[in-house]
Chains A and B, each alone.
Chain A
Amino acid sequence: MKLYCLSGHPTLPCNVLKFKSTTIMLDCGLDTTSVLNFLPLPLVHSSRLSKLPGWVSKDGTVNLEKELKECAGRVFVDSQPEFCLPERELLDLSTIDVILISNYHCMMALPYITEHTGFTGTVYATEPTLQIGRLLMEELVNFMERVPKAQSATCWKNKEIQRMLPGPLKDAVDVWTWKRSYSMQEVNSALSKVQLVGYSQKVELFGAVQISPLSSGYSLGSSNWIIQSHHEKVSYVSGSSLLTTHPQPMDQSSLKNSDVLILTGLTQMPTANPDGMLGEFCSNLAMTIRAGGNVLVPCYSSGVIYDLLECLYQFIESASLGTTPFYFISPVANSSLEFSQIFAEWLCHNKQTKVYLPEPPFPHAELIQTNKLKHYPSIHGDFSSEFRQPCVVFTGHPSLRFGDVVHFMELWGKSSLNTIIFTEPDFSYLDALAPYQPLAMKCVYCPIDTRLNFHQVSKLLKEVQPLHVVCPEQYTQPPLTQAHRSDLMLELQPPPMPYRRCSVLNLPFRRRYERVYILPELANSLVPSEIKPGISVATVSAVLHSKDNKHTLQSVPKPPPVPPSKKRKRVIEEPPVVLAPKPLLSGAVPLEAFLATLQKHGITEVKVEETADGHILHLQAEDTLIQLEEDGTHIVCDNNEPLRKGV
């Protein structure tokens, strides 16, 4: 059993598991942090961005004015943003049988994998994961396609040139493999390969292994996966949460008794308490609004935003923000809000109870009804005429490199009355803000990451007791910035097996047994004999049928060559193991019983001699010698077939 690690990002994993005869890809995360090296894509012409100076190396030998721009001491690529894809050279991706998706954030690289690699398999995901994942992809494509950039910068990727660039561009790895966004057509084609599954549904793969998604508590439809055969069990844990937010709680007990547990998607903010951050978010928001400023919340269009809106729903009245408009701007804003209301099965108990009434499970329905929350597909159109300030705007993309958020940064960045509140943990806020410097607007960093922290995960592992744990290497040491915090790493016995991008791990696994089915006819013909208390033995001779990785044993079809020893079985009750066609004998033959049976068959003239190891029987009439010993019987006779059979 092998694990191929195609992504080095611990929360956006992409691993391939080879288990029995199947090749299973676990998640398909797209590392979007690469876009931080690019200039933002403005929706309307920005004179500030277009006036940025081009970059020329200090000695003047390299001139990349057209491709690279400098802003506040940092260099950015002036091109359509590109993403860092999962490794595609480590193994032949066309051999992948299935892809298991654990949540909608971990599927963004799907079109790169399923299209143009020769992939012919199936993708498994829950319904909310598929629907919301589709929205996020649609949004990404929309963000990119509505501001097309003619130029595509490639010169800077030249190894010689990249070496001379200032950091962090200089240190970016595998820049040649970075790719632009996919098209809507590719998204549709990729998602058409998705097969929907429900929690705890058991899906057979080629009869060899069984996969089953479990609720992971992180987002709508998010799942961990169990991959098991009759004797081996691998758990794949990705993006799980024990906090009570909107999704169904995490199913922990089903992870028990795993041989291997692959652990990914822990919190990226181990020191930030989500509840505390939520409080800070609300108070900063209220403060800014009261001072007459605007609040910008860069966020994804699904996920934490539902919790933020729910929190604000309760907060608005108490903070007397009843008249402040809240805007949610995204090409998929409406769909995201609507979809969140129809997944009753995937919600926590409280929300399910509301649906039974029947009421919409999320209170943002009421916010919309009372006109407190308005959603628009973009800043163009209705929004520009209805827009009032001061206000709160939720919009994407959290990297601040594309989407409507770029416009608001340009619009509000110069005033210190305004505040930008970061809630998504995927991007460093300083890096995100770099191309907008110098900035007058206030910045508040309240990352809300509900995924498991190190304390929770070690408790979980103690409970479910996997034999081996595999995790990204980042989890086996404290974070670089907090090297003394030994509590911010995994300490286990035996130590976890770390992986990094391009690792190939041999998982410590010994397969010993496989399941086979004995057909009733054969089962009835078996003659078990008890050899020790509670232990019975029977020999089996059968025809093995293997089909679709399922094995069955059938009786040997008649007429088989009649085994010469069949009779013996009936004659002699002992030795204890009496066996049909291919005999296996064990134990010693008790003399008395043997003599008795011989007598029954009309053999009476028996001379018994004692020897060191047993007895020698001389059947005088038949001129036959039988040596009985501890672990052997030797019969010497003439060419006398009937007698031999009798014996």
Chain B
Amino acid sequence: MPEIKVTPLGAGQDVGRSCILVSIGGKNIMLDCGMHMGYNDDRRFPDFSYITQNGRLTDFLDCLIISHFHLDHCGALPYMSEMVGYDGPIYMTHPTKAICPILLEDFRKITVDKKGETNFFTSQMIKDCMKKVIPLNLHQTVQVDDELEIKAYYAGHVLGAAMVHIKVGSESVVYTGDYNMTPDRHLGAAWIDKCRPDILISESTYATTIRDSKRCRERDFLKKVHESIERGGKVLIPVFALGRAQELCILLETFWERMNLKAPIYFSTGLTEKANHYYKLFITWTNQKIRKTFVQRNMFEFKHIKAFDRSYADNPGPMVVFATPGMLHAGQSLQIFKKWAGNEKNMVIMPGYCVQGTIGHKILNGQRKLEMEGRATLDVKLQVEYMSFSAHADAKGIMQLIRMAEPRNMVLVHGEAVKMEFLKGKIEQEFSIDCYMPANGETVTVTTNPSVPVDISLNLLKREMALGGPLPDPKKPRTMHGTLIMKENSLKLVSSEQALKELGLNEHQLRFTCRVQLQDPHSDPDTLHRIYTHLKSVLKGYTIQHLPDGTVMVESIVIKVSSSAEDPNTKVLLLSWSYQVKLSSFLMILSSPGISPV
């Protein structure tokens, strides 16, 4: 039996460093190649030694697919391709290909330049790695080799995020990456067709959450920002440069416009403008509304949002600042946070998920005293608010996707074990399919049961379909007979006659003849005639012929009558039929009692 194996090297019962190995139909595919934000040591990257202890990965992998540009999905890419060594194809969508190297470069700068790490990938390595990337278009079927094909679907989540359908023969796997089932202010909702994969590998970040309507959350968010501004406080919103930031910018921009607010909104880092430019050029990846109106008004040109300068943080009066990164683990957002944390008028709004170990995670869990580097502690007095704006599917969304794709098995990754357990139960109960949640390094094996594709001769098929009538009758299934010829790699199903002809074989005739003795005083021809009329009356719907050479044919069964040499009244009935006929026993039973009373 063929098997599909799924092994997470990262994101197994965890969020971060997504990296999942799939073996299907003799092909090995790596899905995502991310880094973990919660670690600064070896655990930061997936453990590639699982694949091979020594040397390069090229021989062991057929392709690598990156679902979107977030670092927990692509952060280990240059390390994997240039430092460990991989020269095979890397697939990602156009926006991912455009944005991913910028984020990688940012990541490298923070790690090497700021933290002074050595033995890290270089700018050149990022460039070399990107040269191996083959862009994917949505819905395009890409033939990786003769057998392996992949197809990308829209996943929402961030600009350019994709789900992938991986297919070898009739076996297939879908990997969702991160996805979002509800459209937001700048992106559409994920969609997939009823592709019935053997395995659906889904993220499960919000496995236990069912979020209220987006509109309520937005109103909540605006209310909180507004209240804080009104009382003169400063609002910090840690975000990643691309993605949620744009959505919240659109939200605040329209709110400011409507309420005629004057407090400044800033966006940190030089990436902003560039980021917005990507959104403009890849407008086909945004939602319907933005695409429709982009000629008249480009939603990514903001009037109220200005670039941030470090010195602005000490300015008096209210302000809103979007700062990177989103989990308060480093960079500008952390600096501003330290400055503003002591004032209870201020507020920090965490709009997304925070990985364990980050300051974002700590303050969300209610920690009010933070240990900083060098034994200093920081008292957190400002208000901490959490607003789930990160565009992951919630439990409802995950179930919705399962309903869309109709998988035969589920594998959950990219979530916390406890939450997964809950969702797993729900999935198994609602869909009666197996659901797995492998830990890192643990392999899930699913046996598949693929149908065998065969070429059937059109003659045979047409004959069979004509015989079967226009509508199939479930109560009386027709049995079709044919011969399967297996030659080299082809499988052909043809009628038996054609098979013999093609293979140059003669048919072997197997005939049975049976002697039945009965008492009948009539002459031989008379007996035969009586049998004939009797059969005719009993066997309606069969062709029965009385042939001039003294035989009766019932379909292909020949009946002859001869008198026994010793006793003319004892007639010997010779019944002769070929191997193919099943009627014979039945015929004997019928004919014997019919004759005997005579």
Interface pair B508/A632, CB less than 8 Å apart: yes
A135 → chain B closest CB, angstroms: 10
Interface residues of B in 417-456 (CB under 8 A from A): 449-456
- What residues of chain B lie closer than 8 Å to A513, measured between beta carbons? 455-458, 492
Q: Is A37 an interface residue (CB 8 A)?
A: no
- What residues of chain B lie closer than 8 Å to A539, measured between beta carbons? 481-484, 496
Interface pair A583/B137, CB less than 8 Å apart: no
Interface size on A, residues (CB 8 A): 87
Nearest CB in chain B to that of A583: its residue: B579
Q: Chain B 263-298 against A: per-residue CB contact (8 Å), 1 yes, 0 no?
A: 000000000001001101111100000000011000
| Contacts between the two chains (Cβ within 8 Å), count | 236
Interface pair A635/B480, CB less than 8 Å apart: no
Q: Is A317 an interface residue (CB 8 A)?
A: no
Interface pair A200/B141, CB less than 8 Å apart: yes
Partner of B452 from the list A199, A523, A551 (CB cut-off 8 Å) is A523
Q: Is B479 an interface residue (CB 8 A)?
A: yes
Partner of B507 from the list A565, A586, A644 (CB cut-off 8 Å) is A586
Partner of A537 from the list B451, B453, B484 (CB cut-off 8 Å) is B484
Q: Chain A 523-553 against B: per-residue CB contact (8 Å), 1 yes, 0 no?
A: 1001010011011111111111110000111
Q: Is B142 an interface residue (CB 8 A)?
A: yes
Interface pair B483/A540, CB less than 8 Å apart: yes
- What residues of chain B lie closer than 8 Å to A518, measured between beta carbons? 451-454
CA distance A534 to B465 in the complex (A): 31
Interface residues of B in 129-173 (CB under 8 A from A): 135, 137-142, 151, 170
Q: Is A564 an interface residue (CB 8 A)?
A: yes
Q: Is A636 an interface residue (CB 8 A)?
A: yes
CA distance A588 to B510 in the complex (A): 11
Q: Is A118 an interface residue (CB 8 A)?
A: no
- What residues of chain A lie closer than 8 Å to B477, measured between beta carbons? 543, 556-557
B256 → chain A closest CB, angstroms: 26
Partner of B451 from the list A342, A523, A635 (CB cut-off 8 Å) is A523
Interface pair B482/A537, CB less than 8 Å apart: no
- What residues of chain A lie closer than 8 Å to B141, measured between beta carbons? 200-202, 212
A30 → chain B closest CB, angstroms: 25
A84 → chain B closest CB, angstroms: 32
Partner of A197 from the list B139, B482, B511 (CB cut-off 8 Å) is B139
Q: Is A605 an interface residue (CB 8 A)?
A: no
Q: Is A459 an interface residue (CB 8 A)?
A: no
CA distance A539 to B582 in the complex (A): 18
Partner of A535 from the list B281, B486, B585 (CB cut-off 8 Å) is B486
- What residues of chain B lie closer than 8 Å to A564, measured between beta carbons? 582, 584-585
Q: Is A494 an interface residue (CB 8 A)?
A: no
Interface pair A517/B483, CB less than 8 Å apart: no
CA distance A349 to B114 in the complex (A): 36
CA distance A543 to B512 in the complex (A): 28
Known A-B contacts A513-B458, A520-B451; A541 and B484 likewise in contact (beta carbons under 8 Å) = no
- What residues of chain A lie closer than 8 Å to B212, measured between beta carbons? none
Q: Is B41 an interface residue (CB 8 A)?
A: no
Partner of A516 from the list B170, B454, B510 (CB cut-off 8 Å) is B454
Partner of A344 from the list B277, B282, B449, B456 (CB cut-off 8 Å) is B282
Q: Is A366 an interface residue (CB 8 A)?
A: no
Q: Is B516 an interface residue (CB 8 A)?
A: yes
Q: Is A176 an interface residue (CB 8 A)?
A: no
Interface residues of B in 488-517 (CB under 8 A from A): 488, 492-493, 496, 499-500, 503, 505-516
Nearest CB in chain A to that of B467: its residue: A544
- Using A352-B135, A636-B515 as known contacts, list a sample of 14 further A-B pairs with CB atoms less than 8 Å apart, ordered by residue number in A: A345-B284, A514-B455, A515-B454, A518-B452, A519-B451, A523-B451, A536-B485, A540-B493, A565-B579, A582-B479, A582-B496, A587-B508, A633-B510, A636-B513
In the A-B complex, the 9 residue pairs with the closest CB atoms: A632-B509, A585-B508, A582-B481, A517-B451, A586-B505, A513-B455, A356-B98, A584-B496, A536-B486
List the interface of chain B (C-beta within 8 A of A). Answer: 94, 97-98, 135, 137-142, 151, 170, 274, 277-278, 280-284, 294-295, 449-458, 461, 464-465, 468, 472, 477-488, 492-493, 496, 499-500, 503, 505-516, 579-580, 582, 584-585, 588
List the interface of chain A (C-beta within 8 A of B). Answer: 127, 197-202, 212, 230-231, 334-335, 338-339, 341-345, 352, 355-356, 358, 360-361, 511-520, 523, 526, 528, 531-532, 534-546, 551-553, 556-557, 560-561, 563-565, 575, 577, 581-589, 630-641, 644
Q: Can you pick out 11 interface pairs between chain A and chain B where the beta carbons lie within 8 Å of each other?
A: A200-B142, A355-B94, A513-B457, A516-B453, A518-B452, A540-B481, A543-B480, A583-B579, A585-B507, A586-B506, A636-B512
